[in-house]
Amino acid sequence: MKTTGHAPALTGAKISFLAVAAGLYLFGMAWAQGTKSANQSLEAPHADQAGVEAFRDVASVLLSPRCVNCHVPGNAPLQGEDGRLHNMNVKRAGDGRGTVAMRCTNCHQVTNSPVLHGPPGAPDWHLPPASTPMAWRGLSTGDLCRALKDPGKNGNRSVADLIDHMNTDLVKWAWSPGPGRTVPLMSYDEFISKLIEWKNDEAPCAP
Ligand code: HEC
Ligand code: HEC
């Protein structure tokens, strides 16, 4: 490059450039200091957003046919992928375990029937109490989130208790439901890690 002849002019330009750059840098530092607290408050909704997103995935599991066939608003369990009324006029009854003649465990054993359309099974197969049925179908993601967290609706459980509850036979059954039944879209381990992500973000709900 043949820049020698223009060296003095270039140096001048460089100096003023450096001066401007240094000025901008100092200004930037001052601005960063001054807006630090503002930035922190801007980060809060951003962090919430991660929790809200994690709950969206959690909701896809809660609304899967396997969960909502037991978590029903009415007095009878549902069955199948389309959530039709349980065959044979089975009813929730007082303890969620069926009427005297039609106890759930007359048919539902501790493991799945290996036969297509045979009764699925897990220990103590029953419906939640009528007073807190935790019926989630049809709720928006935000309403589902609030209902799940509401101690008046969830059997007086904290978010940590709810996560513990996911480690029970009836919940885990949804991932091995017997022949002909779909499983939730995400794996059990992913489901738990999404719940923990949501909890660690202070369990926010979408509006
Ligand atoms: C065979 C019926 C059945 C199935 C299937 C089922 N549940 Fe439940 N669930 C119950 C019952 C019964 C309760 C009430 C607590 C109890 O008696 O164990 C309950 C309670 C809950 C609770 C509230 C915590 C509590 O104990 O009050 C949550 C949360 C829950 N279930 C999540 C799920 C999820 C998620 C699925 C699907 C992956 C699912 N359940 C599938 C029967 C079922
Ligand atoms: C007379 C036998 C019998 C009794 C009693 C009975 N069930 Fe069932 N149940 C079945 C059979 C069989 C199936 C499988 C139907 C199929 O897959 O087509 C089934 C399916 C279900 C399903 C659907 C599983 C799914 O996700 O598709 C739920 C939920 C259920 N029963 C809950 C209950 C509850 C709760 C009780 C007691 C209140 C009960 N059942 C009593 C025989 C019975």
Q: How confident is the model over 58-106, as pLDDT tens digits?
A: 999 999 999 999 999 999 999 999 999 999 999 999 999 999 999 999 9
**Furthest CA-CA distance within the chain:** 106
Pairwise CA distance, residues 21 & 26, whole Å: 9
Per the domain annotation, does 132 fall within a domain? yes
Per the domain annotation, does 27 fall within a domain? no
Per the domain annotation, does 180 fall within a domain? yes
Q: How far is the CA of 13 from the centre of ligand 1 (A)?
A: 73
Model confidence over 138-175: pLDDT tens digits? 999 999 999 999 999 998 999 999 999 999 999 999 99
Q: Which residues form the pocket of ligand 2, taking CB atoms under 6 Å from any ligand atom?
A: 65-66, 69-70, 77, 79-80, 86, 88, 90, 92, 98, 102, 104, 106-108, 117-120, 126-127, 181
pLDDT interval class at 48 (50, 70, 90): confident
- Our measurement of the distance from residue 172's CA atom to the centroid of its chain's CA atoms, rounded to an integer in Å, reads 16
Q: Give the CA distances from residue 149 to residues 69, 182, 202, in Å, rounded to whole numbers and listed in that order.
A: 20, 27, 11
Tell me which long-range contacts 7-15 makes (C-beta under 8 A, separation of at least 24). Answer: none
Q: Find out whether the beta carbon of 127 lies less than 6 Å from any atom of ligand 1.
A: yes
Q: How far is the CA of 128 from the centre of ligand 1 (A)?
A: 7
Give nearest CA residue, ligand 2 atom 15: 117
Q: How far is the CA of 101 from the centre of ligand 1 (A)?
A: 24
Give nearest CA residue, ligand 1 atom 37: 67
Name the 3-class secondary structure at 98: strand
CB 109 within 8 A of CB 121: yes
Model confidence over 172-188: pLDDT tens digits? 999 999 999 999 999 99
Give the total number of structural domains in the chain: 1
Per the domain annotation, does 17 fall within a domain? no
Residue 47 in tokens: 């962090």
DSSP labels, 108-175: --SS--SSTTSPP--TT--PPPTTS----TT--HHHHHHHHH-TTTTTS--HHHHHHHTTSHHHHHTT
Query: How many helices (H) and strands (E) would you count in the chain?
Result: 8, 2
Pairwise CA distance, residues 120 & 182, whole Å: 13
Per the domain annotation, does 97 fall within a domain? yes
Per the domain annotation, does 103 fall within a domain? yes
pLDDT interval class at 16 (50, 70, 90): low
pLDDT of 192 higher than 90: yes
For ligand 1, what atom is nearest to the CA of residue 184? 38
Q: The domain containing residue 92 runs over which residues? A: 47-200
Per the domain annotation, does 169 fall within a domain? yes
Q: Find out whether the beta carbon of 144 lies less than 6 Å from any atom of ligand 1.
A: no
Per the domain annotation, does 142 fall within a domain? yes
